[in-house]
Amino acid sequence: MYILHKYVKFQLGKEAVWKLATASTATIPILIVIEFTISRKIPVIQVLAVEILAAASIYLLALYILKALKSQDFELLRQAFPKAWSRYINFLEGLIVQ
């Protein structure tokens, strides 16, 4: 962050960092449960797919509950991703932004 801050001026708010850390921490117990329950029963690639889907779902749910995402965040996503992805980003924005 120090090196990046020399080139790009940005500021992280304490509230944003707290919400993102909380959302990240919420995924840990679910991933531990998945790892210890199904990892021995199904192939590794399938475990990886289940863990990615579970982590993304829990993370987005936590961000929704914490009201951490704003319309400006989705505008940045629309600028960063190809135009073809805009309808998916709009759909997510409609679900998450309150």
Work out the angle at residue 18's Cα, subtended by the Cα atoms of residues 98 and 33, and round it to the nearest 5 degrees: 90
**pLDDT the model gives residue 58:** 94
In Å, how far are 20, 31, 83 from 40, measured between CA atoms? Answer: 31, 14, 41
**CB neighbourhood size of 47 (10 A):** 16
Digit-coded pLDDT (tens) for 18-69: 988 999 999 999 999 999 998 888 999 999 999 999 999 999 899 889 988 8
The answer to whether 64 and 93 are in contact (CB under 8 A) is no
Domain range summary for the chain, segments of one domain joined by +: 22-66, 69-98
Tokens of 70: 């704003």
Whole-structure pTM value: 0.73
